Chain A
């Protein structure tokens, strides 16, 4: 590998990392402000304009706070758990393309951490890894509330990951009709959603070629599953304050607590970004090349990506301000008896429909 190529790889990773940190700072503030608005409160308002620097202030405070280590913890795992939470969170976002590739001289720079052939599988693998952080934090704290939170988290993550994976399978099979073969690479999935549905029927030529229109059921299932995967309300039983104090991170303080907090908000953003990529066309959109100055049409895809992602992030905040928490048995019943059968049924329906369109009726 030559030096320019190495520099490009380094740039891609660092830029993706920086974007993720910046949006996480904004997201924490945005959630507090939006939920405050929905509850007729003011929310953070002191640090900076509209309280925008509140997250930074909180981060600094947590950074300088004493990290208390309780006496009964299992020290090795207790210290390891926060890192196990943050690392998969960062790695998941590395798969998401967040802008149109551009050229510097002879080299193409893709705005994506890494474009793997197995992109979606990598995302599933990393979200499976993220479970360990919660489980180990809960177990190693040597205290009953974190342990209960950890056990709940394991069961919840296993249950809803199945539904999430199944809804992804439906999308992957659908991408096979948009190109020569199905694909798991996120960059490829975005490219196949460029343009409109005009070639299917002229009436639809105003509709962007997003997967959400043919795969609306998969989108709904995926949305429910990612809310549960990120342990957000109404599925936040893992850290139910009224029952479990703080859940798995009860015994953590200072910087170690901040790492769990960071991981949660990174996960919200990257799961929203994945939903936007799979169903809303990612960065695809009109760039008006030749009509607008070059740097604006180069920047527009990133802006489209952020708008689509934030639309989904807003749904996360909206749900939190609106819905009460489920009971534990309701959570399990919903996951196993409603969501997974629905995902399976949609997979069968969607696949049979695709087969009909590709090969015609089996009796003809």
Chain B
């Protein structure tokens, strides 16, 4: 390696060589390990320097996106286990976050900022397999928890075909439908849950309220929120925050 080699490498990396000269560099790199090693190291360094140079502006962009897609600090709730075994998967339905429902038509749903729905529509992990029998529960769980709602709908429907009474799965199906912008079907599921007498009934009303918020129907949202009992301290906290925001 001499000074001319270094000049050639620099020119190659800066893209100022002719096609023929650039081809010659590539040929030499295939034949001369030292030349190839120097070229590779300098290329990597320049790539790293370019990445570093662009990091500040990327951080600024990600900061703005974070403001839109994550709940502001002062609106975050605290995760508090409900402690009732039959609602384990909903424990901590806390903190609303939102974005989740934000991908309807074409992948983007709501207004980019200040969207109340986005702030409160956060779904807790689904856990169906604790009952010991699978019957497709694991795959449904994974799809739901990873936000693959189209797949979750198919898998939850298959699971419910043999476990029709599993209200946790029903609620997850409703959420998935809402996520996929199949609002009418989602609302029908939530209405059935809200109209029942199980411990999940308040969550049916909670999601009916969120669906109303999503459609901009504040009056209906308040109506559903009023049906959620104060005794459910976890949800009651969320209800107060949502009412305050509305």
A complexed with B: no
